[in-house]
Structure 1
Amino acid sequence: MDTFVTFTILGLVLGSVYAIAASGLVLTYNTSGIFNFAHGAQAMLGAFVYWQLSVGWGLPTPIALVVVLGIFGPLMGLGLYFLIMRGLRDTAEVTKIVVTVSIMLGMLFLSQWFWHAEEPRTLPMFFGDDSKFTVLGATVHVHELLCLIAAAAIAVGLRLLFTRTRMGTTMRGVVDDPDLLRLSGHNPERIAGFSWALSSMLAVLAGILVTPISGGTLEANLLTLLVIDAFAAAMFGRLRSIPRTFVGALVLGLAGTYLLGYAPTSWTWSSNLRVSLPMIALFVVLIVLPQDRLRGAAVRTRERYHVPSVRKAVGWAVALVVIVFLIRQLMVESAVTTLTIGVCFAIVALSLTLLTGYAGEMNLAPLSFGAIATIIVFHFGITGSGLAQRLTLVGVVLGVIVAALVGGLVALPALRLRGLYLALATMAFGVFLSNMVLRDTTEHELFGVKFSIFTGGTLVIPPLQVGPLDLADPTAFLMTATVLFAILGVGVIALRNSGYGRRLTAMKDSPAASAMLGQNLVRLKLSVFVLSAGIAGLGGVLMSSALGSVSGESFTIVISLSLLMLTVVAGIGYVSGAFFGGVMAGVGFSIIMVSFNNLAKTQPDLEGLFLLLGNLAAVSPALIGIGVGHNPSGTVHQVVEGYRKLRDARPVLVGGAAVVAVAYVLALTGILDNWWFATITIVTVFALPVVGEMLMPTAVLGEEEAARRRPVDPERVGVDEPYSAETIARVDRELGLPPLPVRTSDEATAQAPESTPEKELTAHV
């Protein structure tokens, strides 16, 4: 009996913390339509700030709580909404997800910047660990009682807020029809900002309460993922009902503690199952709950992508292979392997271009399918022993097939899901795989055969050998991975330009219209998931082989989310976006950070500056991802649009190519450092459209636009430049005069015989 009461109380306490965190998610979603994936990171950051105030600086606990809950938490929520979230209207669901994921990653990097992970930090319970009493033979800490009281008070308070107050009614109307709410005399922005402030405060409170219960140790990644378990509780209430959300949270808390207390001792995987239970519940709830109806009209968003023809794609594919080969000539052997890892990440990112960029379907865990393929090739695709071990082509093909089949199995129950629900389902699968499968290092026996899934916690993956092609050679591996990406990229573009690709686009724009035209949406979704999972599996196997050995940490959900974020930033609707996003996710920013750290060691006088730049480089991917709301089509789209204008400015293009070619020759001969070559190349690529507008404005912008942007000398109007309505307006702007009053059509007709531009200009000036 004592055991049952103990685990019941512990489950209720843990569930109450989930309920507090989940209620914040419901608040923000109901007022802005944005599911905040950074909610757990907000809880983590608030817990660290509270530790710094109460333990690090020794402030009294009440004062620290007032500062964190009354000032820091609400200001963090207000800042997120007014600086970032309200700019996400009319963007696709993937853009909204990526921005909140970027905030989550930015907060993680920020916490690691200020609070180094090497230094242990613990957060004690309120009133101390010795403040406890007995209930039915079970020991209850005062801190745990406070969790229950806080959860009950918040549940009642939010219920009354939503049902009994005018503020609650207006909060529900913000996301449904903000224009109508504005006509009623309310300010939707202010109401949404209030809900984000309240949600942030609840997240911080959850982080402070849950840390002592989970052991007291502050660790950024673990605390963020722990609060992410509240996602399942929020989905119990379907992101709308506070009471159902609290019930779901309590059920999750009780189920986890009962599993811990009463699972058979023969279940060696019971601890992994307990950790995975919230994600299993999230997946089940998403499948069981009724979904929204298919939308009947296309939703116009600000994302715009240009799909090249297959002929152009082939040309760019050949150019990519040549460019990578030329860059290889400048690199040392260790750097070649690093770039190879980046290209393998790009292959995984290519699966997102097909699935999300073309079909509009979501997958937040692409590396999970790479992990599945890696496990298969480790057990069934390695031949030889010792240093002579090699991957076999049959093993790689088998791993890709199994990854594709698993992708189909995951997609099959999720076929009825769309948008956010589908994203959460794939995230639940990724977290479940990391917690349940990739942690399973024990030996099992099935039908007399002994095996382990993730043997020893680390899998050694040798290079592939196919006939005379041995990828043990770093250059051969790099060029093979590049050629594979080029071939797959051309194949993806050819698929997009086919009838199948047009059906995918129709399904993305309007599922209801696509279904009415006779398209089988189930077959389309299933097929594109299978293809995408197969591509991700191939990239995962090559990445594991390039790394040499992988652990469960190589496939965590955080890495998958980083890959998705950078692919969207680069342009998820472009194959080139997948390449640049994958390379940057795999190696780009890590190389920059390592370089700054090495500079700090070699130059002690500037150590502080280089360490600062290294930390800024760590945070920069998240900062870039946050800005994707202002450019939802991605960086590649912006660059492509800039170069489209240079088609008639060939001297500018030739000049830019000459600058890069000269820099390459100087780097090849050792006169120019590789970092300088990379800097010159990047600056030239991004600056060329701007230089073209400056040097050849008429060819780049067209005569009319160039004339409009050309500065006006008021003294020469009427001498070198004829009078016109546009000229008069430009003169007004140049002289700082108010614009001419807008006349009605009747007034313009009556004055037409006597009025001329000269007379209007003279009278106005």
Structure 2
Amino acid sequence: MDTFVTFTILGLVLGAVYAIAASGLVLTYSTSGIFNFAHGAQAMLGAFFYWQLRYGWNLPAPIALLLALGVLGPLMGLALYFLIMRGLRDTAEVTKIVVTVSIMLGMLFLSQWFWHPEEPRTLRMFFGDDAKFSLLGATVHVHEVICLVAAIAIAVGLRLLFTRTRMGATMRGVVDDPDLLRLNGHNPERIAGFSWALSSMLAVLAGILVTPISGGTLEANLLTLLVIDAFAAAMFGRLRSIPRTFVGAIVLGLAGTYLLGYGPSTWTWTSNLRVSLPMIALFVVLIVLPQDRLRGAAVRTRERYHVPSVRKAVTWGAALVVIVYLIRLLMVESAITTLTIGMCFAIVALSLTVLTGYAGEMNLAPLSFGAVATIVVYHFGISGSGLAQRLTIVGVLLGVLVAALVGGLVALPALRLRGLYLALATMAFGVFLSNMVLRDTTEHELFGVKFSLFTGGSLVIPPLQIGPLDLGNETTFLMTATVLFAILGVAVVALRNSGYGRRLAAMKDSPAASAMLGQNLVKLKLSVFMISAGIAGLGGILMSSAMGAVSGDSFTIIISLSLLMLTVVAGIGYVSGALFGGVMAGVGFSIIMVSFTNLAKAQPELEGLYLLLGNIAAVSPALIGIGVGHNPSGSVHQVIEGYRKLRDAKPVLIGGAAFVAVLYLLALTGVLGNWWFASLTIVTVFALPVVGEMLMPTAVLGAEEVARRRTTPPELVGIDEPYTQEGRDCLDRELGLPSVPVVPATSASPSSPAQATTGSGSESRSETESVKELTVNAVS
């Protein structure tokens, strides 16, 4: 009985914290239509801030709590909404997800910047660990009672707010019809900002309450993922109902503790299952709950992608292979493997281009399919022993096939899901795989066969060998990965230009219209999921082989989200976007941070500056991801549009190419360092369209656009420049007045009928000028 009461109380307390966190998610989604993936990171940041106030600066607990909940929480929510979230209107679901994911990653890096992860920090319970009493034979801490009371009070308060107050009605109306809300005298922006402030305060409260219960140690990644478990409770209430959210959170808390307390002792994976239980519940809830009906009209967003022809794709693929080989000539041996890993990440990112960029389907865990393929090749695709071990082509194909089948199995129950629900389902799969499979290091026995899935917690993956082609050589591995990416990129472009690709695009624009035209959406979704999972599996195998040995941390959901974020930032609808996103996620920013660290060691007098720049570089991917709301088509799209304008400015293109060639020769001969070569080349690539517009404006912009830019706007005539005939004619056109030709005066008084007519015309014109000047003065 004592055991039952103990686990029941622990489950109720854990469920109460889930309820507090989930209530904040419901609050923001119901008022802005944005699911905040950064909710857990807000909780983490609030817990660290409270620790700093309470234990770092020794402030009294009430004051520290007041500052954390009353100042940091609301300010964080207001800043997020007014600076970022309200600019996400008319963007695709993937853009909204990526922005909140970027905020989450930014907060993680920010916490590691201010609070070094190697320094231990502990939060103690309110009133201390000794503040406890006995209830039915079980020990109950005062902190746990506070959690329960706070959760109940918040649930009741939010329920009354939504159903019994005018503010609650306006909060629900922000998403339903903000224009109608304005007509009734309300400010939708202010109401949504209030909701985000309240939600952020609830997230901070959840982080402060849950940390002592989960062990007290502050660790950024664990605390962020712990609050992510509240996603299942929020979805139990379908992001609308506070009571159902509260019930779902309590059920989750009780189920987890009962499983830990009463699971069979022979189950070696009980603890892993308990950690995975919220994600299992999230997946089941998403499948069971009724979904919204298909929309009959296409959803117009601001994303625009230009798909190249297959011929152009082949040309650019060949150019990529040549460029990588030329870069290889500049690199030291130790850097070749680093670039190879980046190319393997690019292959994984290519799976997102097919699935999300072309078909509009979501996958937040692409590296999980790479993990599946890696496990398969480790057990069934290695030949030889010792240093002579090599991957076999049969094993690689088997791993890709199994990854594709697993992708189909994951997609099969999720076929009825769309948008956010599908994204959460794939995220649940990724977290479940990390917690259940990648942590399974114990030995099992099935039908007399002993095995372990993730043997020893680390898998050693040797390089691939196909006849004379041995990827044990670093240069051979790099060029093979590059050629594979080029081939897959051309195949992806050919797929998009085929009838199958056009069906995918139609499904992305309007599933209902696509179904009405006779398309089988089930087959389309299932097939594109399997294709995407197969590509991700191939990239995962090559990545694991390039690393040599991988652990469960190599495939975490955080890395998958980072890869998705950078691919969307680059342009998820482009093969080149996958290339940029994959390389930057795999090695790009880590190289930059290591470079600043080495510079700090080499120049101690500037150590502070270099460490600051390194921390800024660590946060920069998140800052770039946050800005994707202003450019949802991606940076590649922006660069492509800039170079499209240079088609008639051949001297600028030739000059830019010659300048890069000179830089390369200087770097090849050792005159210019590789760091300076890379920096100057990147600046040249991005600055060339601007330089072309400055040097050859007519060729780049066109004569009409140049004339338009040089013409003073009508409202500035007479202000920025004096009145001229051209200015007067411009005002005539803008005001809709008839243009009157200028007739020079020949005498003071008319002496003939013709002169009399001219005189009346001049008189009429002076009246027109008077009217015009009055109009200009009025406008001014």
| Length-normalised TM-score, structure 1 | 0.96
Report whether the alignment pairs 1:215 with 2:215.
Answer: yes
Alignment of structure 1 residues 722-733 onto 2, 5 Å = 731-732=717-718
Separation in 2, partners of 1:666, 1:744: 56
SS at match of 1:734: coil
Distance 1:692 1:745, change over 3 A: closer
* 2:175 aligned residue: 175
Amino acid at match of 2:662: V
What is aligned with 1:359? 359
Q: Distance in 2 between matches of 1:181 and 1:730?
A: 36
Distance in 1 (CA, whole Å) between partners of 2:250 and 2:266 is: 27
Matched, 1:69 2:69: yes
Q: Counterpart amino acid of 2:170? A: T
The alpha-carbon deviation at position 751 of structure 1 amounts to 8.7
Q: Return closer, same or farther for 1:269/1:407 CA change in 2, 3 Å cut-off.
A: same
What residue number does 1:121 align with? 121
Secondary structure of the 1:735 match is coil
- Written as runs of structure 1 = structure 2, the 5 A alignment for 1:337-416 is 337-416=337-416
Cα deviation 1:618-647 (Å, max 9, x = unaligned): 000000000000000000000000000000
- Residue 720 of structure 2 aligns to a residue in which SS? helix
Q: Distance in 2 between matches of 1:461 and 1:698?
A: 56
Equivalent in the alignment of 1:518: 518
Distance 1:544 1:320 in 2: 23
Q: What secondary structure, in the 3-state scheme, does the structure 2 residue paired with 1:414 have? A: coil
Inter-CA distance 398–747: structure 2 relative to 1 (3 Å threshold): closer
**Residue 530 of structure 1: how far off its partner (Å):** 0.2
1:112 aligns with: 112
Structure 1 residue 308 corresponds to structure 2 residue 308? yes
CA deviations 1:399-435 (Å, max 9, x no partner) are 0000000000000000000000000000000000000
Matched with 1:435 is 435
Tell me whether 1:45 sits opposite 2:39 in the alignment: no
CA distance in 2, matches of 1:187, 1:655: 53
Number of the residue aligned with 2:447: 447
2:439 match: secondary structure: coil
Q: Which residue of 2 aligns with 1:716?
A: none
Matches of 1:442 and 1:373, distance apart in 2: 20
- Aligned counterpart, 1:421: 421
In the alignment, does 2:288 pair up with 1:288?
yes
Deviation per residue, 1:264-317 (Å, 9 max, x gap) = 000000000000000000000000000000011011100000000001010000
| 2:193 counterpart residue number | 193
Determine which of 713, 735, 739 is the counterpart of 2:721: 735
Larger radius of gyration: 2
Q: Work out the CA distance in 2 between the residues paired with 1:599 and 1:477.
A: 30
Matched to 2:129, the amino acid is D
Distance 1:239 1:746 in 2: 52
Task: Find the aligned partners of 2:4 and 2:679 in 1 and give their Cα distance.
Answer: 64
Q: Match of 2:141?
A: 141
Q: Distance in 2 between matches of 1:700 and 1:749?
A: 34
C-alpha deviation, 1:734, in angstroms: 2.2
Equivalent residues in 2 for 1:610-759 (5 A)?
610-710=610-710, 731-732=717-718, 734-735=720-721, 748=737
1:613–1:125 distance in 2 versus 1, CA, 3 Å: same
Contact 2:732/2:739, CA 8 A, preserved across alignment: no
Aligned-residue offset at 1:679: 1.1
Say if 2:215 is the partner of 1:229. no
Shift of residue 758 of structure 1?
8.6
Residues 656-714 of structure 1: per-residue CA shift (max 9 Å, x gap): 000000000111111111111111110100000000010000000010111222376xx
Is contact 2:18-2:227 (8 Å) kept? yes
RMSD: 2.0
SS of residue in 2 equivalent to 1:296: coil
Q: 1:732 to 1:551 in 2, by over 3 A?
A: farther
Unaligned 5+ segments in structure 1 are 713-725
- 1:718 — aligned with what? none
- Separation of aligned partners in 2, 1:214 and 1:195: 28
Please state whether the residue corresponding to 2:584 is helix, strand or coil.
Answer: helix
* Deviates further, 534-543 or 665-674: 665-674
Structure 1 residues 132 and 326: CA distance shift in structure 2, 3 A: same
Task: Show CA shifts across 1:341-400 (max 9, x none).
Answer: 000000000000000000000000000000000000000000011110000000000000
1-structure distance, mates of 2:716, 2:165: 53
Question: Take 1:745 and 1:554, find their aligned partners in 2: how far apart are those partners?
Answer: 62
Deviations 1:577-613 (A, max 9, x none): 0000000000000000000001111110000000000
Rounded to whole Å, the distance in 2 between the matches of 1:46 and 1:762 is 61
What amino acid does structure 2 have at the position aligned with 1:171? Answer: M
Does the residue aligned with 2:330 lie in a helix, a strand or coil?
Answer: coil
Tell me, in whole angstroms, the C-alpha distance in 2 between the residues paired with 1:201 and 1:159.
Answer: 17
Taking the aligned partners of 2:731 and 2:223, their CA distance within structure 1 comes to 60
Q: What is the CA–CA distance in structure 2 between the aligned matches of 1:750 and 1:689, rounded to whole Å?
A: 39
Q: Check the 8 A contact 2:441/2:454 in 1, yes or no.
A: yes
Cα distance change, pair 113–694 in 1 and its aligned pair in 2 (3 A): same
Identical amino acids, percent of aligned pairs:
84
- Letter of the structure 2 residue corresponding to residue 140 of structure 1: V
SS at match of 1:279: helix
**SS of match in other structure, 1:134:** strand
Q: 1:121 to 1:697 in 2, by over 3 A?
A: same
8 Å CA contact 2:732–2:738 kept in 1: the answer is no
Equivalent residue number for residue 568 of structure 1: 568
1:488 paired to 2:480? no
* Matched letter for residue 541 of structure 1: I
Q: Post-superposition shift, 1:731? A: 3.8
Aligned to 2:536: 536
SS of structure 2 residue aligned to 1:73: helix
Q: Distance in 2 between matches of 1:710 and 1:481?
A: 50
Could you tell me how far apart the structure 1 residues matched to 2:735 and 2:20 are? 64
Distance 1:377 1:193 in 2: 50
Equivalent residue runs for 1:328-343 within 5 Å:
328-343=328-343
- Aligned residue for 1:266, secondary structure, equals coil
Q: Distance in 2 between matches of 1:478 and 1:755?
A: 77
CA displacement at 1:762 relative to structure 2: 7.8
Q: Secondary structure at the match of 2:126?
A: coil
SS of corresponding position for 2:413: helix
Provide the rounded CA distance (Å) in 2 between the counterparts of 1:110 and 1:538: 33
1:154 is aligned to 154
2:260 corresponds to which residue? 260
Could you say if the C-alpha distance between residues 755 and 547 of structure 1 is closer, same or farther in structure 2, counting changes exceeding 3 Å?
Answer: farther
Amino acid at match of 2:168: G
CA distance in 2, matches of 1:198, 1:521: 40
Relative to structure 1, the CA distance from residue 651 to residue 744 in structure 2 (aligned partners, 3 Å threshold; closer, same or farther) is closer
Q: 2: distance between equivalents of 1:678 and 1:517?
A: 50
Letter in 1 for 2:119: E
Q: 2: distance between equivalents of 1:410 and 1:253?
A: 26
The letter of the residue matching 1:734 is D
CA distances 1:49-92 after superposition (whole Å, capped 9, x unpaired): 00000011000000001100001100000000000000000000
Distance, in Å, in 1 between the alignment partners of 2:429 and 2:765 is 72
Residues 1:271 and 2:257 are matched in the alignment: no
Q: Take 1:758 and 1:313, find their aligned partners in 2: how far apart are those partners?
A: 60
What SS does the corresponding residue of 1:109 show, helix, strand or coil? helix
**Structure 1 residues 760 and 137 mapped into 2: Cα distance closer, same or farther (>3 Å)?**
same
Match of 1:318 in 2: 318
Helix, strand or coil: the match of 1:216? coil
Following TM superposition, by how much is the alpha carbon of 1:176 offset from its aligned partner in structure 2, in angstroms? 1.0
**Matched pairs, number:** 751
